[in-house]
Chains A and B, each alone.
Chain A
Amino acid sequence: MIDIPVMRWGKPYESLEKADVSHFETGEPIARVSQANGGLLARDMRKADGARQLLREFSIDDLIQLTAKAADLFENETLPLGSGTQAPDEFVTHQSASTGLPEVMCRSNMKKNSFVLRNMREILDCLTRGLPWDILSRGYGAESRGVVVSYQAQTSVLGAVLPSNSPGVHTLWLPVIPLQFGLVLKPGSSEPWTAYRIASAFEQAGIPSEAMGLYPGGHDVGSTLLASCQRSMVFGSEKTVNQYAGDPRVQVHGPGFSKIFLGEDCVDRWEEFIELMVESVYVNGGRSCINCSSIFAPRHTHEIAQAIAEKLGPTEPLPTTDPEAGLAAFTTPGVGAAIWNMVQQDLQAEGVTHCTADYGPRLVERERYSYLRPVVAHADNSDCAIATKEFMFPFVTVVKCPQKDMIKKAGPTLVGTAITEDQAWIEQLTAATTIDRLNIGPIATNRLNWLQPHEGNLIDFLFRSRAYQVANQDMVQSLNS
């Protein structure tokens, strides 16, 4: 079994308190993870400025190159991990065993992370809208048109309280190191693997290990991290989102409530879009915030729901090693049943039809874990509670709703795919502040273009654009060159 220490700015620290990361099927421990305490993290945060100072000894360009090297190491090499090492295949089996995600999904998330690491130059170029790197490094500079601009760093490090159940989200914090900010991470209790492996890959690639801290632990570690970092990310439930809403220091990533909107002009061609809808609901076990949880259409909603149900309803849980496995297990006892109870309650409401009811029981309970097979519901109006619900498995409600009411009734939407060519409606959708990422046309909600910002631009979060006036025109000229 691997012993995984707390990493205090690159220095391993073995705690007296350890938590086992166990195999979800057998309960057998895979790793023993040292647990930090809040005070220890608060104390280490006094050295946070040192992380940025160290990284600023490298240029952003150098760090981008080292990040690309880290991508290959992360994806292909055996890397040090705590008391042992971990090969790429072991990473996949460990992650699958502790999270209940099929190996094929773990491998896909691994590729997603290495893709972002490898293509950091293009991603940063888009996030910064082509700003010269020097301006970010120095805090000020001149654009090619000769205008002095300033981007002031708002923190030395980015903190992140990471989830246990969704290894795909790590791409969000990967650009932080090449932007010369340190990282302070609280890995998820059953998914320490990605954070530790990326830290190891960075170190092996030549990025100073003192630029990163890894603090596994309990709730006090998470709250200390959020309190002591000037900029941090947290991944959690709607409750977590509400708790930190309005705190400019915290970027909250919660449920996505991602949706597909079928316009009046395209809805009669609904059959053309069924594959896209199924993919949006089903991919990655329905666990992502970018999975579609509601489909709004003005008509044909029963047929759409039945067609999706036909595709997804028969899906059975398969062993995690099966390349066809599409469902992820709920590894905490009782969670699957609790979610199913909530779904059932919503399904019983007036105007709601359970379209997957004929495909056998949805809740599959095993001794230590459970699965929920896909659920497709139909709501004959957008006021049904189920119309805007999201759950951590392939779940979707097809909602009958006039086009004119869709934006208002849909509520907060992380990814909104609008299948329409109606220019007037596109303008309304573009103006809708409740929609974060907007796809116009038949694009599955899960198909992210990495060159687009996700749930807030990381650059806007880490830097503040401000006035910066320089009297000496020669100095402006030199900045320009």
Chain B
Amino acid sequence: MSSSTDLETAKHRAKQELDQHACEMVQRHFHESTGCPFWLQKKSELGFDPLTEIQCYEDLRKFPLFEDEWLRGGPVERWRMKDMSNCPTYVFETGGTTGLPKSRVVVDDFRTDYELFSDTLPDEYFPKGANWLMLGPSGPRRLRLAVEHLAQHRGGICFCIDLDPRWVVKLIKKGWMEHLEAYKIHCIDQAITILTAGHDIQCMFATPKLLDSLCLALEDRGTSLVELGVKGIFSGGTEFTPQWTRYAVEELLGGPAGEGGVYMTPTYGNTLMGLACSKPVTAEEGYKISYYAPQPRAVAEVVSFEDPTSVVGYGETGRVKLTTLTPEFFVPGFLERDEGEREQPFELYPWDGVSGVRPFHQLASSTTVGVY
């Protein structure tokens, strides 16, 4: 059988799995015995019965677009699944610089997402049992606990820093650039203290800005991540452009991983969706970054700017639309604040991906991105 036939078969299987999963999740979220108060109440406003009329993934388009404003304020119990109401529950928040933050309640989702992500990490660069450094936001953030769980799942211990992104946004809005610089140095100092304290840290999460600052600070001290024994980093954010990746590989991380440098893999995600992995990024492909959502638990589509129910052609530009279908959380189509190009499926991820992710051009000027 040719590889193109293999890919077709894999795509077909993935689609079947997605259809089946979508139906199962709708049954779960809209059944009186299991669903959360929010969706059970919303059901009466829909004008159709999800329990009988959702037969495949495409049928989810019958739902109105998810509005993340629905996640603001309390009580957060309205999002708890009835059959999980006795489970230990976390609440994760996004933003929150002004007004009420958006909240998402979670029981196990973050653990499941990061265990699946763990399967995509090469052991050579993310050794099992190795300790980790989480160089990212602390506080009520999903990312902080998720990375810690990832480290634990792989048999290691995760070291964290204190970083309040809400304070960072306030500093930027006030124009207190000296304070911003001082806070960045404070964060990097914490990271260097951990990295040089003999904890044998070999893996890291870092945002692009902090990774950049960390590498320069280490260089000032006459050392580097390679010298300190770091082997693998995963990172995320819309600043993760091909140029930034190339710069990081060539000038911060000691060259390509195959030639002794630190391995770095980009990721794309948020509190609503989870974590999309990247197709391996290579110099040969111009450091192009293509993300693939963890189907069937989440789907990333590139849709027309004018009609969010219509997917654009391959290679064409559109807005990123996320759908989350986990046993704990149901998001039937949420328009992200990002745009990008639709990418072809391939063997590892036989479903659509998105490349060139960047802030949605109509919102870009009003959005503060990459604050930490």
Q: Are A16 and B242 within 8 A (Cβ)?
A: yes
Q: Mark A10-52, 1 if CB is under 8 A from B, else 0.
A: 0000011100000000000000000101111011001000000
Q: Is the CB of B243 within 8 A of A37?
A: yes
| Interfacial chain A residues near B242, Cβ < 8 Å | 16-17
Whole-angstrom distance between the Cβ of B185 and the nearest chain A Cβ: 12
| Interface assignment of B198: CB less than 8 Å from any CB of chain A | no
> At the interface, yes or no: B138 with Cβ under 8 Å from chain A?
no
What are the residues of chain A within 8 A of B219 when measuring CB–CB?
46
Nearest chain-A residue to B220 (Cβ)? A46
Q: How far is the CA of A46 from the CA of B220 in the complex (A)?
A: 9
Chain A's nearest CB lies how many Å from the CB of B20?
A: 40
- The dominant DSSP class at the A interface is helix
Kindly provide the distance from the CB of A247 to the nearest chain B CB, expressed in whole angstroms. 8
Are A39 and B243 neighbours in the complex by a CB distance under 8 Å? no
How far, in Å, is B372 (CB) from chain A's closest CB? Answer: 14
B177: chain A residues at CB < 8 Å are 223, 227, 243
How many residues from A make CB contacts under 8 Å with B? Answer: 14
Inter-chain contacts of B244 with A (CB < 8 A) = 37, 39
CB 8 Å contact bits of B75-94 with A (1 = contact, 0 = none): 00000000000000000000
Residue B150 is within 8 A (CB to CB) of chain A in the complex: no
**Contact among B181, B212, B216, B243 for A17, CB-based, below 8 A:** B243
Proximity bits, B240-283, A CB within 8 Å = 1, else 0: 01111011100110000000000000000000000000000000
Minimum CB distance partner of B248 in chain A: A39
Q: How far in angstroms is the closest Cβ of chain A from B211?
A: 9
- The answer to whether B247 touches A39 (Cβ under 8 A) is yes
B99 part of interface (Cβ distance < 8 Å): no
Cα A38 to Cα B175 in complex, Å, equals 18
* A35: contacting residue among B175, B243, B246, B252, CB under 8 A: B243
Task: Determine whether the beta carbon of B216 is less than 8 Å from that of A42.
Answer: yes
B125 in the interface, Cβ–Cβ < 8 Å? no
Q: Does B313 contact A (CB under 8 A)?
A: no
Q: How far is the CB of A254 from chain B (nearest CB, A)?
A: 15
Bound complex: CA of A43 vs CA of B247, how far in Å?
10
- Tell whether, in the assembled complex, residue B243 and residue A42 are in contact, meaning their CB atoms are under 8 Å apart: no
CB pair B251 A43 closer than 8 Å: yes
> Is B286 positioned at the interface, with any CB of A under 8 Å from its CB?
yes
The CA-CA distance from A227 to B182 in the complex, in Å, is 12
- Expressed in whole angstroms, the minimum distance between the Cβ of B11 and any Cβ of chain A is 30
A243 to B175, CA, bound (A): 6
On chain A, the residues within 8 Å of B287 by CB distance are 16
Q: How far is the CB of A8 from chain B (nearest CB, A)?
A: 11
B residues within 8 A CB of A38? 212
Q: Is the interface of B mostly helix, strand, loop or mixed?
A: helix
Chain B proximity mask over A234-251: 1 for CB below 8 Å, otherwise 0: 000000000100000000
| Smallest CB gap from A227: residue in B | B181
Question: CA A128 – CA B305 in complex, angstroms?
Answer: 59
Residues of B within 8 A of A223 (CB): 177
For B288, the closest partner residue in chain A by CB is: A16
In the bound assembly, the distance between CA atoms of A70 and B252 in angstroms comes to: 37
Q: In the complex, what residues of B have CB within 8 A of residue A243's CB?
A: 175, 177
Q: In the assembly, what is the distance between CA of A15 and CA of B246, in Å? A: 9
- Chain B residues near A43: list those with CB within 8 A: 216, 251
Q: Which of B181, B247, B286 meets A40, CB within 8 Å?
A: B247
Find out whether the CB atom of A15 lies under 8 angstroms from the CB atom of B175: no
- The residue in B175, B212, B216, B243 that gathers the most chain A C-beta atoms within 10 A of its C-beta is B243
* Chain B proximity mask over A270-296: 1 for CB below 8 Å, otherwise 0: 000000000000000000000000000
Chain B contacts of A42 at CB under 8 A?
Answer: 212, 216
Alpha-carbon gap, A17 to B248, bound state (A) = 14
CA distance A15 to B242 in the complex (A): 9
With the chains together, A245 CA to B246 CA distance in Å?
36
Contact among B175, B181, B212 for A39, CB-based, below 8 A? B212
* B residues less than 8 Å from A46 (CB atoms): 216, 219
Q: How many angstroms between the C-alpha atoms of A227 and B181 in the bound complex?
A: 9
Bound together, the chains give a CA A92 to CA B212 distance in angstroms of 39
A residues within 8 A CB of B246? 16
Q: Which A residue sits closest to B370, measured CB to CB?
A: A220
The CA of A35 and the CA of B212, in the complex, are separated in Å by 17
Q: How far is the CA of A227 from the CA of B175 in the complex (A)?
A: 13
Instruction: Please name the residue on chain A nearest to B246 by beta carbon.
Output: A16
Contact between chains at B243 and A15 (CB < 8 Å): yes
Bound-state Cα–Cα, A40 to B252, Å: 10
Q: Which residues of B contact A (CB under 8 A)?
A: 175, 177, 181, 212, 216, 219, 241-244, 246-248, 251-252, 286-287
Ranked nearest first, the 5 interchain pairs of A and B with the lowest CB-CB distance are: A39-B212, A16-B243, A17-B243, A16-B242, A243-B175
Known A223-B177, A227-B181, A243-B177; 15 more pairs at CB < 8 Å: A16-B243, A16-B246, A17-B242, A17-B243, A37-B241, A37-B244, A38-B212, A39-B212, A39-B252, A42-B212, A42-B216, A43-B216, A43-B251, A46-B219, A243-B175
11 A-B interface contacts by CB (under 8 A): A16-B246, A17-B242, A35-B243, A37-B244, A39-B212, A39-B247, A39-B252, A40-B251, A42-B216, A43-B216, A227-B177
